[in-house]
Amino acid sequence: MTQLTQSVRLEFDGDVALIHIDNPPVNALSHHVRQGLLDGMTQAESSDASAIVVICDGRTFIAGADITEFSGPPKPPSLQAAQDAMENCSKPVIAAVHGTALGGGLEVALCAHYRVGVSSSKYGLPEVKLGLLPGAGGTQRLPRITGAARALEMMTSGEPITAEEALECGLINEIVEDLQAGAIAFARRAVAEKMPLLRIRDRNDKLADTPPSMFDEFRAGIARKTRGFLAPEYNVRCVEAAVNLDFDAGLQREQELFRDLMKGTQSKAQQYYFFAERAALKIPGLPKDTKAADVGRCGVLGAGTMGGGIAMNFANVGIPVTIVERDEDALERGLAVVRSNYERTAARGGISSDDVETRMGLISGSVDMGDFAECDLIIEAVFENMDLKKSIFEQLDQICQPGAILASNTSALDINEIASATSRPDAVIGMHFFSPANVMKMLEVVRGDETSDIAIATAMGIGRTIGKTPVLCGVCHGFVGNRMLFMRGIEAEKMILEGAAPSRVDQILFDFGLPMGPFAMSDLAGLDIGWDEATSSGSTVRELLCESGRRGQKNGSGYYTYDPTTRAATPDPEVEQIIQGFAERQGIPQRDISDQEILERCLYPMVNEGAKILSEGIAIRGSDVDVVWINGYGWPMYTGGPMFWADTVGLSDVADRIKHYASTLGGEHWSISPLIEQLVAEGGSLSTYTN
Ligand code: 3HC
Ligand code: NAI
Separation between Cα atoms, residue 344 and residue 439, nearest integer Å: 13
Supply φ then ψ for residue 321, to 5 degrees: -130, 135
The residues that bridge with 3 in the sheet, in sequence order, are 9
- CA 511 vs CA 228, 595, 637: distances in Å: 9, 11, 14
> What DSSP character marks residue 348?
T
- CA 133 vs CA 65, 236, 260, 346, 639: distances in Å: 12, 10, 10, 33, 18
- Ligand 1 within 6 A of CB of 67: yes
Work out the widest C-alpha separation in the chain, in whole angstroms.
Answer: 92
The residues that bridge with 442 in the sheet, in sequence order, are 469
Where residue 472 falls (left for φ over 0; alpha for ψ -120 to 50; beta otherwise) is beta
Angle, helices 642-649 vs 265-279, to 10°: value is 140
Other C-beta atoms lying within 10 Å of the C-beta of residue 88: 13
In tens, the pLDDT along 41-65 reads: 999 999 999 999 999 999 999 999 9
Ligand nearest to the CA of residue 332, numbered in listed order: 2
**CB of 188 closer than 8 Å to CB of 16:** yes
Q: How far is the CA of 309 from the centre of ligand 2 (A)?
A: 11
The residues that bridge with 9 in the sheet, in sequence order, are 3, 20
Counting every residue written for the chain, the total comes to: 691
User: Who contacts 436 (Cβ-Cβ below 8 Å, separation ≥6)?
Assistant: 305, 309
**CB of 559 closer than 8 Å to CB of 545:** yes
Which ligand 1 atom minimizes the distance to the CA of 130? 44
Q: How far is the CA of 380 from the centre of ligand 2 (A)?
A: 8
Q: Which helix (H) or strand (E) holds 464?
A: helix 453-465
Residues of the chain under the 70 pLDDT cut: none
Which ligand 2 atom minimizes the distance to the CA of 392? 18
Which ligand 1 atom minimizes the distance to the CA of 79? 54
- Ligand 2 within 6 A of CB of 302: yes
Whole-structure pTM value: 0.95
| Sequential DSSP letters for 487-539 | HHHHHHHHHHHHT--HHHHHHHHHHHT-SS-HHHHHHHH-TTTT--TTT--S-
Ligand nearest to the CA of residue 128, numbered in listed order: 1
Q: How far is the CA of 51 from the centre of ligand 2 (A)?
A: 64
- Ligand 2 within 6 A of CB of 444: no
Which ligand 2 atom minimizes the distance to the CA of 303? 9
Q: How far is the CA of 305 from the centre of ligand 2 (A)?
A: 7
The residue among 445, 451, 399, 458 whose CA lies nearest residue 424 is: 451
- Ligand 1 within 6 A of CB of 28: yes
Among 107, 277, 325, 609, the one annotated catalytic: 107
Q: Is 107 a catalytic residue?
A: yes
Separation between Cα atoms, residue 45 and residue 93, nearest integer Å: 10
Q: How far is the CA of 308 from the centre of ligand 2 (A)?
A: 10
* Mode of pairing for the β-strands spanning 321-324 and 161-162: unpaired
The residue among 267, 210, 261, 220 whose CA lies nearest residue 240 is: 210
Domains and CATH numbers, the chain: 2-263 (3.90.226.10), 298-477 (3.40.50.720), 500-586 (1.10.1040.50), 595-682 (1.10.1040.10)
Helices (H) and strands (E) in the chain — how many of each? 27, 20
| Sequential DSSP letters for 353-370 | HHHHHHHHHHEEEES-GG
- Ligand 2 within 6 A of CB of 303: yes
Separation between Cα atoms, residue 409 and residue 442, nearest integer Å: 12
Separation between Cα atoms, residue 598 and residue 313, nearest integer Å: 37
**CB of 378 closer than 8 Å to CB of 399:** no
Angle, helices 651-664 vs 642-649, to 10°: value is 100
Q: Is 600 a catalytic residue?
A: no
Among 87, 127, 325, 380, the one annotated catalytic: 127
In tens, the pLDDT along 246-304 reads: 999 999 999 999 999 999 999 999 999 999 999 999 999 999 999 999 999 999 999 99
- CA 409 vs CA 312, 322, 323, 354, 606: distances in Å: 15, 16, 14, 30, 23
| 3-class SS of residue 95 | strand
Reported as half-sphere exposure (CB side, CA atoms, 13 A), residue 436 has a value of 10
Name the residue of 329, 372, 382 whose CB sits within 8 Å of the most ligand 2 atoms, as the mutation to test its pocket. Answer: 382
Ligand nearest to the CA of residue 552, numbered in listed order: 2
What pLDDT, on the 0 to 100 scale, is given for residue 71? 84
Cβ burial of 399 (10 Å; 0-12, 13-18, 19+) is middle
What pLDDT, on the 0 to 100 scale, is given for residue 273? 98
- Ligand 1 within 6 A of CB of 102: yes
What pLDDT, on the 0 to 100 scale, is given for residue 465? 98
Supply φ then ψ for residue 409, to 5 degrees: -95, 20
**CB of 6 closer than 8 Å to CB of 20:** no
| 3-class SS of residue 600 | helix
Ligand nearest to the CA of residue 257, numbered in listed order: 1
The residue among 209, 208, 232 whose CA lies nearest residue 125 is: 232
- Ligand 2 within 6 A of CB of 305: yes
What pLDDT, on the 0 to 100 scale, is given for residue 576? 96
